[in-house]
Amino acid sequence: MDRNEAVLRELNLYPLWQRRGAPAPIESAAAAFHSVSSVPLGKPSGQPVEPSKAASPVAGDSVAGEQRAVVVPMGVADKSREQLIGELDWPQLKAMVRDCTACRLRAGCTQTVFGVGDEQAEWLFVGEGPGADEDAQGEPFVGQAGKLLDNMLLAIKLRRGKNVYIANIVKCRPPNNRAPERDEIATCLPYLQRQIALIKPKLIVALGKTAATALLGHDAALGSLRGRLHDFSGIPLIITYHPAYLLRSPMEKAKAWQDLCLAADAMQKVQE
Ligand code: URA
């Protein structure tokens, strides 16, 4: 069995389904993109996500590669926490996330999980929040769902860390694997927004409803959001199922494959 076949088998997509008379899946996804795309690429139209009003006093600084905490004065000038976060560089942002206690989640987790990958990646994949494995290892998507995500990446010829960045909506593991709550998301979202501003990805893939809702700024059934391009601050956004959901509902992997093809096609278009 060659590697491609192994990946497709993992995704429950082997032998590859193909519509009669239709081109290969990536091309048919391209056709779908042309017919259903509601947002022209590169043109912002998404609603800004409501920023958090919560304050966190700590940001970071980097000296010769070493991270040390520095105190960001609260209430200084008129700068909101979001504005302060919006000015941080990578080492400062990492330190601020590492030391963050701005919401209740930090008290119940082992460590924050910042994100991983190429900091100049064209591709950004966004999940919900760390689970037990991620909490233990400090890296997103390292458990079973992460293995499936790695295979999903391979299916479109991507590899973790190579032109790919992976992050979550919240950086701390919610207790008992519950979904993060609205205020927790609002408090943590400025970190992801800053990560996005620093990475400048060409395409974002939201994995699951929590990521979709947080990035879109409104709630809708995931099934109704799939299959077309959305927009996050001018960056094309594709919404697909969360790998953990796909592990529980393997029949949906075919739809996730369509979404990945749509994403690959959209990426090709923005690269042109
Ligand atoms: N699920 C997520 O949403 N993120 C992770 O990092 C792991 C599992």
What does the pLDDT profile of the chain (272 residues) look like in tens digits? 555 565 556 665 554 434 333 333 333 322 222 222 222 222 233 333 333 333 333 333 333 333 444 444 444 556 799 999 999 999 999 999 999 999 999 999 999 999 999 999 999 999 999 999 999 999 999 999 999 999 999 999 999 999 999 999 999 999 999 999 999 999 999 999 999 999 999 999 999 999 999 999 999 999 999 999 999 999 999 999 999 999 999 999 999 999 999 999 999 999 99
pLDDT for residue 13: 54
Positive or negative: CA dihedral 61, 65, 67, 68: negative
Q: pTM to 2 decimals?
A: 0.77
Task: Report yes or no on 63 lying in a domain.
Answer: no
CA of 18 to the centre of ligand 1 (A): 31
What pLDDT score was predicted for residue 174? 98
Report the C-alpha gap between 65 and 31 in whole angstroms. Answer: 47
Q: Is 128 in the pocket of ligand 1 (CB under 6 A)?
A: yes
- pLDDT at residue 71 in the model: 44
Find the CATH number of the domain harbouring 267: 3.40.470.10
Task: Please report the atom of ligand 1 found closest to the CA of residue 207.
Answer: 3
> Which segments of the chain does DSSP mark as H helices, in order?
3-10, 25-36, 81-85, 90-98, 132-137, 144-155, 182-199, 209-216, 222-225, 243-248, 253-271
Q: Residue 113 CA: which ligand 1 atom is closest?
A: 6
Asked if residue 102 belongs to a domain, the reply is yes
- Verify whether ligand 1 is closer than 6 Å to residue 115 (CB atom): no
Distances 241 to 19, 31, 144 between C-alpha atoms, Å: 22, 21, 15
Which atom from ligand 1 is nearest to the alpha carbon of 168? 4
Q: Is the CB of 174 under 6 A from ligand 1?
A: no
Please state at what angle helix 182-199 crosses helix 209-216, rounded to 10 degrees. 70
What pLDDT score was predicted for residue 79?
Answer: 78
In a domain, 40, yes or no: no
Name the domain count of the chain: 1
* Residue 221 belongs to domain spanning: 74-271
Q: Is residue 146 part of a domain?
A: yes
In a domain, 261, yes or no: yes
Count of other CB atoms within 10 angstroms of residue 141:
27
